[in-house]
A and B are shown apart, each in its own frame.
Chain A
Amino acid sequence: MAQFLQQMVNGLSIGSVYALMAVGYSLVYSVMNFSNFAHGGVIMFGAYFGFFGITLLKLPFPAAFVLAFVGTAILAVLIERIAYKPLRERKAPFLYFIISAMGASIFLENIIIATIGPTFRTYPDVFGRSSIALGPVAVGRLDLIMFAVSAVCLTGLVLFVEKTRMGRAIQASAYNMKAAALMGVNTDRVVMIVFAIGGMLAGIAGVFFGMKYTVYPQIGNITTKSFVAAVFGGLGSLPGAVLGSILLGIIETLVAGYLSSQFRDLIAFVILIGVLVFRPTGIMGKTTEDKA
């Protein structure tokens, strides 16, 4: 039982970081109707921004953390302006967006390899390795902080989307851009804000993944998992993305704990395919009717 609880806690912690990435994916998908494959590159930049903020600029962790997510928010908006906006203006088919996203992703990865190099780098130990005992369960400090920060960010995002005027405009644009514009919404600005939020959360996730594992140019590939989680929960749905991510995190740690970590990804992807076969819109997928 203690082991099971321990795995659940670990799964919750890693799942909450998947959620940070997955909601960014989902937000962009819900408004633009395409999968932003450059998201992984943004996460990778977040990991590097945080790393160099601490090691090179000698910033205290909170400052490096802010540097990372502000940097990635700007980066995500820049990617949108350069790689997607011209396509939007020409009303290009969604396939072009995906190709452009892949190009941006390859560009981001290779610019790091070319300038900083392909080596793996390890974050300095910021929080200490000791763990906190919660009854029979030991929680690592980093895991606890990851979970707490993710929970705060996700709650903030939900409140923003549900309770503010701009959040409502995002929901309206997600349903139909034209109709939103007819209400006086500047849809170009909505797209920019969506990318800024997605980029910010990606930067936070990048720092956490860099701290939990290591920093390297392909770290963005981890977004494949958040993509799985977003599809699993229902692309375009924020609660779906969070739920899918938490489930994926828990499934992974349970498989790794009880079977073998070799099987972890195998089983996660088998579940994804299973979900898609029986429920193509995911657990809480949005309906895409009327979407131009």
Chain B
Amino acid sequence: MLNVENLHVSYGGIRALKGVSLRVDAGEIVTIIGANGAGKSTLLNAVTGFLKPAAGTISFKGKPLSRRPDLIVRDGICHVPEGRLVFANLSVENNLAMGAYLRNDKKAVAGDLEKVFALFPRLKERCKQSAGTLSGGEQQMLAMGRALMTDGELVLMDEPSLGLAPLLVQTVFEIIGEIHKLGKTILLVEQNAFRALSVADRAYVLEQGRIVKEGKASDVAADPAVRDAYLGAESKAGG
């Protein structure tokens, strides 16, 4: 579904990606793990059109990626950005309506809204409330719900568990599984490698702008080098 070939991206004068190739097939959950500054967010921002590649190609459903972020959304890629970026000045309801900005099929939009509320009952309770008054976890749910409202087939998630309490981290990963069950393909970028690998089908390890390892998530999780570098204490504690 998504094909990235030999991607080079410079960001702020630094070559953040140096020849990254990866693919995400329809129906998969693929995760990219890596340390802070490895280039994970740069990769997602290139896929959503905010950063222009210096070299390499990105294609989606067999066609070259559109050039502008709004056209990429129209093509069917949605993005739950790092830091959530919910519209704090709008109500929860209007945040979700923004997700359906490009859609005119009122019936389908109403149906998707029901699905989002089923997934996040808390959002339904807080429908009229301003998004700025939500807690961090609720904002993360809103950011996910809003992305689902775009009806994109491929959902990019950038550090969805960042800054959340451990209990909520658990919830967020359960929700990622639920979203997958709705038929979405997911590309997940996470620092919490242990959780990400446990939910994903396949994984890529990104180090200093290069893919250093790829494979089935369970194989990557079992790799001694990966365990040393990314899983550390958590893998021991979590088994």
Q: Beta-carbon contacts of A172-211 to B below 8 Å, as 1s and 0s?
A: 1011101111111111000000000000000000000000
Q: Is the CB of B150 within 8 A of A178?
A: no
B78-122 vs A, Cβ < 8 Å mask (1 yes, 0 no): 110101011111100010011101100000000000000000000
Distance (whole angstroms) from the CB of A179 to the closest CB of chain B: 4
- A180 to B86: give the CA distance in the assembly, Å: 9
Residues from chain A with a CB closer than 8 A to the CB of B146 are 183
Contact at A184–B101, with CB atoms within 8 Å? yes
Residues in A whose Cβ lies below 8 Å from that of B89: 171, 174-175, 286-287
Known interface pairs A180-B87, A290-B88; 9 further A-B residue pairs with C-beta atoms within 8 A, sorted by A's residue number: A168-B94, A171-B89, A171-B90, A172-B87, A178-B50, A181-B73, A182-B79, A182-B147, A184-B150
Contact in complex: B73, A184 (CB < 8 Å): yes
Contacts of A175 in B (CB 8 A): 87-90
Give complex CA distance A289, B131 in Å: 13
B48 at the interface (CB under 8 A from A): yes
Q: Which residue of chain B lies nearest to A173 when distances are taken between CB atoms in the complex?
A: B87
Shortest C-beta distance, B109 to chain A (Å), equals 12
- CB pair B73–A182 under 8 Å, yes or no, is yes
Interface size on B, residues (CB 8 A): 28
- Roughly how many angstroms separate A174 CA and B90 CA in the complex, as a whole number? 11
Q: Kindly state the separation between the CA atoms of A184 and B78 in the bound complex, as whole angstroms.
A: 9
Q: 16 A–B contact pairs at CB < 8 A?
A: A165-B101, A168-B90, A169-B98, A171-B87, A175-B88, A175-B89, A176-B85, A178-B85, A182-B48, A182-B81, A182-B147, A184-B102, A185-B101, A286-B89, A287-B89, A290-B88
Please tell me which one of the listed residues A171, A179, A181, A287 contacts residue B70 in the complex, with CB atoms under 8 A apart: A181
Nearest CB on A from B97, distance (A): 7
Residues of A within 8 Å of B86, CB to CB, are 179
With CB as the reference atom, state the residue of chain B lying closest to A186: B70
Q: Residue among A174, A181, A184, A286 with the most chain B CB within 10 A?
A: A184
The answer for the CA separation of A180 and B83 in the assembled complex, in Å, is 14
Quick check: B99 and A183 within 8 Å, CB to CB?
Answer: yes
Select from chain A the residue with minimum beta-carbon distance to B74.
A184
Residues of A within 8 A of B70 (CB): 181, 184-187
Q: In the assembly, what is the distance between CA of A178 and CA of B85, in Å?
A: 8
Report B143 CB to chain A, min CB distance, Å: 9
The interface of chain B, by Cβ under 8 A from chain A, is 48-50, 68-70, 73-74, 78-79, 81, 83, 85-90, 94, 97-99, 101-102, 132, 146-147, 150
Please give me the residue from chain A that is nearest to B88 by CB atom: A175
List residues of chain B with CB within 8 A of the CB of A171: 87, 89-90, 94
Contact B88 A181 (CB under 8 A): no
Contacts of B88 in A (CB 8 A): 175, 287, 289-290
Most buried by A among B68, B78, B89: B89
Q: Which of A168, A176, A182, A290 contacts B69 (CB 8 A)?
A: A182
Does B50 lie within 8 Å of A172, measured CB to CB? no
Question: Closest A-chain residue to B97, C-beta based?
Answer: A168
Q: Which of A176, A179, A185, A186 has the most CB of B within 10 A?
A: A179
Of the listed residues B74, B79, B87, B132, the one surrounded by the most CB atoms of chain A closer than 10 A to its CB is: B87
A-side contacts of B98, CB under 8 Å:
168-169, 172, 180, 183, 185
Bound complex: CA A180 to CA B90 (Å): 12
Instruction: Check B87 against A176 for contact (C-beta < 8 Å).
Output: yes
CB atoms of B81 and A179 under 8 A apart: yes
Given the complex, which residues of A lie within 8 Å of B147, measured CB to CB?
A: 182
CA–CA, A235 and B82, complex, Å = 28
B102 partner residues in chain A, CB cutoff 8 A: 183-184
Q: Mark A123-137, 1 if CB is under 8 A from B, else 0.
A: 000000000000000
